[in-house]
Structure 1
Amino acid sequence: MASDPSVWRVRPEPGPLTPPTGSGVLDGETVAVKDLFAIAGQRIGAGNPAWLAAAPVESTHADAVARLLEAGAALAGIAQTEEFAYSLTGANAHYGTPPNPRAPGRISGGSTSGPTSAVAAGEASIALGTDTGGSVRVPAAYQGLWGIRPTHGAVPAGGLLPLAPSFDTVGWLAPDAGTLARVGEVLLPADTAGTGTGRGLVVSAALLELAAPEVRDVVDQLAQDAGAEPLDWAPEPTWLAAFQTVQAAEAWAAHGAWLADRMDTLGPAVRARFERARSIGPADAEAARIVVAQARAQIREQLADRVLVLPSAATVAPLAKDAEAARAATMLLTCIAGIGGLPAVSVPVATASGLPAGACLVGPAGADRALLALAGGVGN
């Protein structure tokens, strides 16, 4: 059966695209790789046909890809992303919107859209993606999968096409906590911090209120069941705008030279973001960086060694017509881990109506492996 082009850009039949180069804890696993990572003998497409046509053939694998192959995983293929990973809906103006097998008729979530749909459909067992502003956590929530955004810089980003390096992380998704953790054994360094020493999990009513009632209720229940204590804290209103300004400035720094006379190659939503990015001056970018730095310090001070429980996304997977409206509310939640540079694990939960949602555990920097273990216990 032919592969869905909205999910896969390259998927040989029979596969794999690339066999394992070694053996280890990932023997027998198959990986759908987001089309931002270098794969030897292939081009990086970045969700944009014009970029793909001009891209060189890669001579070596990205660092994360090479590690997965060495641990026994095979590459099932290259899966679609939203253009330059600059969106959260999953829609790609050129290739279409990958389906959501766990919530048919609703969007898949992005920008790790193709790999997530591939895992949700059982066409791969691991999705290798990126998370800058929620691009692993949001599709994980929408499609009922486990996903992690590691501590910023914990996983090497060599061979990865950047969006905003101050926030970009290499993340992954899996259908169960065990597989998610085994990938962590391969990609993550040893922990340099612990989680919850003496104080445990916390939950903020202000953050829960940012989510739709059906999501808020199920995340609050998970927090209560896990023994989370109340935290009287909320992010400052200026933080999201500062995060988005820094993200935009860095996105233009990364891709503006190429896009300057090729803006017409972008779909409308992503083009609008890059148009804004082009308009940001150095003074505005620097002012936003100062806000982000102050916010990071406050987030880390507030959480210390505790683990914050909050919704991975503000809603269940919306219908396509509601996608952009849902994005704004969700980013108020997802930007906390991004600004803090903190690890965040999305634990799948189900709403009262049976739709997938995500409860996110945000832990201390450098406590990624401990956070995976904690999430596995909370979610099972």
Structure 2
Amino acid sequence: MTPDPRVWRVLPRSGPLTAPTGTGVLDGETVAVKDLFAVAGQRIGAGNPAWLAAAPVEERHADAVGRLLDAGAALAGIAQAEEFAYSLTGANAHYGTPPNPRAPGRISGGSTSGPATAVAAGQASIALGTDTAGSVRVPAAYQGLWGIRPTHGAVPDEGALQLAPSFDTIGWLARDAATLARTGEVLLPADTAGLSDDVPLLSPALLDLAAPEVGAAVGQLARGAGAEPVDWAPEPTWLAAFQTLQAAEAWAAHGAWLGDRMDTLGPDVRGRFARARSVGAAEAKAALTVVVRARAQVRERLGERVLLLPSAATVAPRPGEAEAARAATMLLTCIAGIGGLPAVSVPVATASGLPAGACLVGPAGADRALLARAGTFTA
């Protein structure tokens, strides 16, 4: 297979990049690793050539990578990411935008863009990525894949480059629910919370944030599951607080390196880091106060129930149209991020046949049960 540089940064022309180190439930599976994870003998590129050039060769695998290898999976290669995982489009100013095999001519979704495309194209069976503000759930929706953002902190992030530690999670994607769940057997701890058998909750206000065709597809799945309508929606201040705290933490993580290297970034990501640099201590503290209060409200409202909502507000946009959908999508994705909650994206299709995603958000610590519940959903 000839590597597509939009999809892969490192891909051997024959054989896996790294062979399995053990056997287990992932025997025979292949993994596309997002270019934020340490792979022994390789550098972390973070989607930025200047960072890659200065990066050291990693001496050991990231914790999640090592677990997958020990369970029988092979690493197919290192797949492209958007710069520092600070975007949701999939576009990388240096390497290009990975194609979307399920919706040709439309963007792939990011920032776990390369791994998602590799899985959708059948070049790997598991995509190992990160999800801070939707970076697993959005490409899952755009490319018709299954994807999970686990409970915050459930999967150790040792050896993974951070963006915003208050929201960063290690997530993964697959073409089917069974592979997604088997990967969870390897990466997730035992559940520490219960999951109610009640039908899922459905907020019409959240459904209305999506484009009509996406809302209709998610609504069809909700009706099939007998979802219970609930009068609830995020408060208007939540998204701004989420983005402000994310920005402050992103600059804390990378500002020292980026200080005199902002010109190495693509324009969209550069704009986000420019905003991040301007966030003062008082603004960040105020945002944290809102996030902490919102987290408590989300968790109290959800209890042990499952909340069903769109994974992204639209189908995959065409190039140049992605920013228009960003705000509505983040109003949806920030709920699990603020709550620190697990969220599984289930693929659905619109009436025109385009892929979209229905997201199941569950209680913190009920990740395995949520994966099992998600596997019972069909559009």
Bin of the TM-score, shorter chain as denominator length:
over 0.9
The equivalent residue for 1:6 is 6
Does residue 96 (structure 1) correspond to residue 90 (structure 2)? The answer is: no
Does the aligned pair in 1 maintain the 2:199–2:225 contact within 8 Å? no
Letter in 1 for 2:67: R
2: CA distance between counterparts of 1:15 and 1:290? 50
1-structure distance, mates of 2:201, 2:343: 14
1:73-98 superposed Cα distances (whole Å, 9 cap, x missing partner): 00000000000000000000000000
The letter for the 1-side match of 2:71 is: A
1:377 aligns with 2:376: yes
Query: Aligned partner of 2:10: which letter?
Result: V
Q: Secondary structure at the match of 1:227?
A: coil
Aligned residue identity for 1:302: R
Give secondary structure in 1 for the equivalent of 2:20. Answer: coil
Q: TM-score, normalised by structure 2?
A: 0.99
SS of residue in 1 equivalent to 2:352: coil
Partner residue of 2:129?
A: 129
Question: Displacement, 1:296?
Answer: 0.3
Tell me the distance in 1 between the aligned counterparts of 2:247 and 2:49. 22
Residue 85 of structure 2 aligns with an amino acid whose one-letter code is A
Taking the aligned partners of 2:79 and 2:344, their CA distance within structure 1 comes to 22
TM-score scaled to structure 1, two decimals? 0.99
**1:1-380, aligned counterparts within 5 Å?**
1-197=1-197, 199-379=198-378
Moved over 2 A (4+): none
Please tell me the residue identity of whatever aligns with 1:10. V
- Once residues 220 and 303 of structure 2 are traced to their aligned partners in structure 1, the CA distance between those partners, rounded to angstroms, is 23
Task: Write out per-residue CA displacement over residues 136-188 of structure 1, whole angstroms, 9 at most, x where no aligned residue.
Answer: 00000000000000000000000000000000000000000000000000000
Alignment partners' CA distance in 2, 1:323 and 1:7: 19
- Paired residue type of 1:130: T
Contact 2:299–2:363 (CA under 8 A) maintained in structure 1: yes
Matched residue type, 2:294:
A
SS at match of 2:32: strand
* Superposed displacement of residue 200, structure 1: 3.1
- In structure 2, runs of 5+ residues without a counterpart are none
Q: One-letter code of the match for 1:226?
A: A
SS in 2 for 1:377: coil
CA distance in 1, matches of 2:220, 2:29: 33
Looking at structure 2, the residues matched to 177 and 50 of structure 1 have their Cα atoms a distance apart, in angstroms, of 37
Q: Where does the alignment leave 5 or more consecutive residues of structure 1 unmatched?
A: none
Say if 2:211 and 2:313, in contact at 8 Å, map to a contact too.
yes
Q: After TM superposition, give the deviation of residue 211 of structure 1 in Å.
A: 0.2
Aligned length: 379
Once the 2 structures are TM-superposed, how far is the Cα of residue 194 of structure 1 from its aligned partner? Answer: 1.7
Q: CA deviation at 1:114?
A: 0.1
Quick one: distance in 2 between partners of 1:379 and 1:162? 34
Q: Is the deviation greater in 222-231 or in 248-257? A: 222-231
Give how far 1:323 is off. 0.6
Q: In the TM superposition, what whole-angstrom CA distance separates every residue of 1:208-259 from its partner, at most 9, and x where no partner exists?
A: 0000000001101111111110111010000000000000000000000000
User: How many Å separate the matches in 1 of 2:326 and 2:87?
Assistant: 9
Distance in 2 (CA, whole Å) between partners of 1:196 and 1:8 is 41
Shift of 1:15: 2.0
Amino acid in the other structure paired with 2:134? G
- Partners of 2:137 and 2:344 within 8 A in 1: yes
Q: Which amino acid aligns with 2:260?
A: D
Q: Give the Å deviation of 1:196.
A: 1.8
Whole-Å separation in 1 of the counterparts to 2:353 and 2:203: 24
Cα displacement (A) at 1:329: 1.0
DSSP 3-state at the match of 2:321: helix
Counterparts of 2:222 and 2:362, CA distance in 1: 14
Pairwise CA RMSD = 0.7
Q: Quick one: distance in 1 between partners of 2:279 and 2:15?
A: 45
State the shift of 1:379 in Å: 3.0
